[in-house]
Amino acid sequence: MSLLFDPGFVILREDQSTKLFNIILVMSQVFGGMAVLLVTIWMSKYESGFAWNENPDKEFNYHPTFMIMGMVFLFGESILVYRVFRNERKKFSKTLHVVLHSVVLVFMLTALKAVFDYHNLHKDAEGNPAPIVNLVSLHSWIGLSVVIFFCIQYAVGFITYFFPGMPIPIRQLVMPFHQMFGVLIFIFVSITVAMGISERAAWKHTCWTKEGQMCGQQAVSSFVGVFTFLYMVCVLILVLNPRWKRQPLPEEEGLHHLTSSHSMSD
């Protein structure tokens, strides 16, 4: 397995490698797009649509929808920025990376508000307040942990690489940890999504829990999980292959050496 990620182990010519990259990239966009489309269909068609906190049951539907859109698709896209635009100036890639992560943060916080409102403002069949206890499932425990680690990752990355920006030696020290934790968080996002789909299906999909048969709602929700997993796999392949890693442009190499030398002389 280590040979597959060894930059010295070359099977394909450069043009073949580029073609393979493009094929997997297109596949990733199809899989990610299908996950977003299907979760929207699931929540709008089978779960009766969306509303704000005047209808907590419908407000909940923002939770899976925005988590798939943000923490899965846009999170993956932000990771791919440095592979898709590896021949562009780093400032462009870094800015796009930060912008996408910022949008992910907004989607994530909105999705969290939706699920907490659903629990806290829940009413029984007679319309009386009947709050649901928060944070009792394994999905919620792992999910909240992922959210916390994502926020820490976002804050450290923003301060270190964007604003105010740390000195080059600190950036070099932090970078491998930033990359590693980013990939790990992304993997755990997919795991959390799978757990959330299973939990929702167990609570709401009576076609299989009571009637013991497959129905459209169950099929759509399961395919959301399948496409989420396939999208994650494609993103990981694109990110972990060293041949597709972004290399510094010539002018960036010169600036990097100049900045490093200046830092060492201070």
Check if the beta carbon of residue 91 is closer than 8 Å to that of residue 98: no
Looking at residue 11, its pLDDT comes to 79
Looking at residue 6, its pLDDT comes to 59
Structure-token pair, residue 201: 């299906």
Structure-token pair, residue 21: 């990259």
- Looking at 8-12, 32-36, 136-140, which range is the least confident one? 8-12
Percent of the chain with pLDDT over 90: 75
Looking at residue 253, its pLDDT comes to 58
pTM: 0.90
Confidence of residue 67 (pLDDT cuts 50, 70, 90): very high
- Beta carbons within 8 Å of 244's beta carbon, 6+ residues apart: 17, 21, 83, 86, 238
Rounded mean pLDDT of 134-152?
A: 97
Secondary element (H or E) of residue 102: helix 90-120
Confidence of residue 246 (pLDDT cuts 50, 70, 90): confident
State the maximum Cα–Cα separation within the chain, in Å, rounded to a whole number: 74
Domains of the chain: 14-264 (1.20.120.1770)
- Res 27 pLDDT > 50: yes
**Dist. CA 112–CA 179, nearest whole Å:** 25
Higher pLDDT, 99 or 247: 99
